[in-house]
Structure 1
Amino acid sequence: MLQTILTSVLGPMLWGTSYVNFTELLPVDHPFFVGAIRALAGGLILLAINPRMPRPAVMARYAVLGTLNMALFFALLFVAAARMPGGLAATLGAVQPLVVIALSSLLIRRMPHPVQLAAGVAGVIGVGLLVLSPSEHKPDLIGVLAAIGGTCSMAVGTVLIDHWGRDGKPLEMATWQLILGGAILLPVAWIKEGLPPVPDGPALAGYAWLILLGTAFAYYVWNRGITRLGPSGAYLALASPVVATLIGTIWMSEIFSIWQWIGIVLVLGAIIAGVSVKRRAPVDPNPVPTAAAGKA
């Protein structure tokens, strides 16, 4: 079990390096292109590991999920990374489980636990402190909206997976979401941004790290670990904002205010509390009376 945890946490830790990798080595004025290449190339590598073609009906669902979880999410993630410190962008993105809890109650009538409601309030307060507190590195509005938009997009995709049920194994789902998401985003990037500059040595190293380690390897170990650890493995995703914040603070000299640090702690604490309690079963809008109820 310990070996599985240590292996699985490598995925979120590598995701946490994406922010500094993008801003320091890759073309920050081409966030859509970087997101498209990351998704498409990473998915093709995973396909080499698991070369299985899903049924057409399942592929259609993967296209929807790939648009939400990969194309929109990666594009908006890199827009946010280009405009705000990596630690803040990653922490804003980490509120995704809280958004999933809220959307589940609205879309599939899975009512949240009172602890999850309290965690949601704490998370909103934490995000407010991150965004509104006076600081040398106060993020701009577009960066904040991009981070929140990407979070909401992936949250909708997560709820759809919960609603539709898993059509295939986690690795297969990740593979085809990446491939289809990248294929959908690539022409958008071409039209909106054009071709990026020819990559030099550092850029090639940045792409190699992002595609091989930050996407293909990270998604492989993450999905492999989640199948063994179950829902409790969701806690490991917190390693991503932690790593991004540490890199930003130590390497990039990103100075946060005390209120922003409190916001980071509130958000991470809210996520731990929110995902630690068991979700309630969906509410049936048309319950069938039981025999005992009929006799009452």
Structure 2
Amino acid sequence: MTTARTGLAGTLALTGLAPLVWGSTYYVTTTFLPPDRPMFTALMRVLPAGLLLLALTRKLPHGQWITRAFALGALNIGLFTALLFVAAYRLPGGVAAVITSSAPLFAVGFAAAAGLERLSARKIVAGLIGLGGVALVVLKATAALDTLGVIAGLAAAIAMGSGTILTKRWGRPDGVSPLAMTGWQLTAGGLLLLPVAAIAEGMPPALDARNIGGYLFLGLIGTAVAYALWFRGIAKASATSVQFLGLLSPLSATIIGWVALGQSLAPLQILGMVIALGGTLLGQTGSGPSTKDSAPGAPKSEPRTRAGAAETFTAKIRLAA
């Protein structure tokens, strides 16, 4: 059990690097990228990264995985990114961050509905605590609300929450690595964003060396590497536990703004960080598997013999590691 817990903690720690890196997006976007091109930026983040991973892994989806890759790519990448930018442009950044931080709560509900985990009061409380902590960190008293922006932010949270649960429920085909699966989703999401960017913003802007460097960082580190870690974590740990790690992103963005941009950091924001971290940690506990099968067609359990129990115990350790 100690080995299993250590392996799970290591998996979650490694997965947590993804939202920490995503927290740098605001700094990179405002410092290195051309202004007022959100859809082009979203496209440049995901499509080149997806094509690069496809070229490296040389695996393409086939059969039912073609539609599944596009469904997951739409929820986790295309829809989420587009809706997030709509919310960010129509709402103050703090309001958008708080609304999208509701994704863990949606994930808890979707996981219960899908039969992956039991509905956990502890995780619901953890989600509310995390949401409150993020609100203290990023929300300002003068923040204004825009109806379309709020709807877009909630839709982005729903897309991310449901996409995380579907990623866990469907798993991946035999012989397909997490890196290849990441490439499928990024490419599918990028292809869905392509017409949106073309219609909304027209021709791409002229890019200088600074812009290209910013896009390279977002594409390689902030997308290819970060999403590979994220989807690896979903495969190895509880989907809702991984989703709670997303609360680290606005905290990372706040710290980067304080260090790199000289933004102020008030005591109330520090308190909010502590509360949000508490919600994140609480979200890693208190979830058990559902009594339902975790996937369609899952085999029924056999009567447990001493040898069978030993094999089950060994399999659980390998899964957690």
Compute the TM-score of the two structures, normalised by the length of structure 1.
0.77
1:53 matched to 2:60? The reply is yes
1:201 matched to 2:209? The reply is yes
Q: CA deviation at 1:200?
A: 1.8
Determine the structure 2 residue equivalent to 1:38.
Answer: 45
1:208-250 CA-to-partner distances (Å, cap 9, x unmatched) read 11112211233334545666x6449837655533321111122
- Stretches of structure 2 lacking an aligned partner (at least 5 in a row): 1-6, 294-321
- Alpha-carbon spacing, 1:50–1:164, altered in 2? closer, same or farther (3 Å): same
Aligned residues: 281
In the alignment, which of 193, 204, 213 is matched to residue 221 of structure 2? 213
Counterpart code for 1:186: L
Paired residues for 1:139-288 under 5 Å:
141=146, 145-167=151-173, 168-223=176-231, 230-231=237-238, 234=242, 239-255=248-264, 258-282=267-291
Determine the structure 1 residue equivalent to 2:301.
Answer: none
Q: Is the 8 A contact 2:61 2:69 kept in 1?
A: no
Q: Is the 8 A contact 1:84 1:139 kept in 2?
A: yes
Compute the TM-score of the two structures, normalised by the length of structure 2.
0.72
The root-mean-square deviation of aligned C-alpha atoms, in Å, is 3.5
Determine the structure 2 residue equivalent to 1:114.
Answer: 121
Q: Is the 8 A contact 2:46 2:186 kept in 1?
A: yes
Identity fraction in percent: 38
Secondary structure, in 3 states, of the residue corresponding to 1:185? helix
Instruction: Tell me the distance in 2 between the aligned counterparts of 1:184 and 1:203.
Output: 23
Secondary structure, in 3 states, of the residue corresponding to 2:216? helix
Determine the structure 2 residue equivalent to 1:102.
Answer: 109
Q: Is the 8 A contact 2:111 2:117 kept in 1?
A: yes
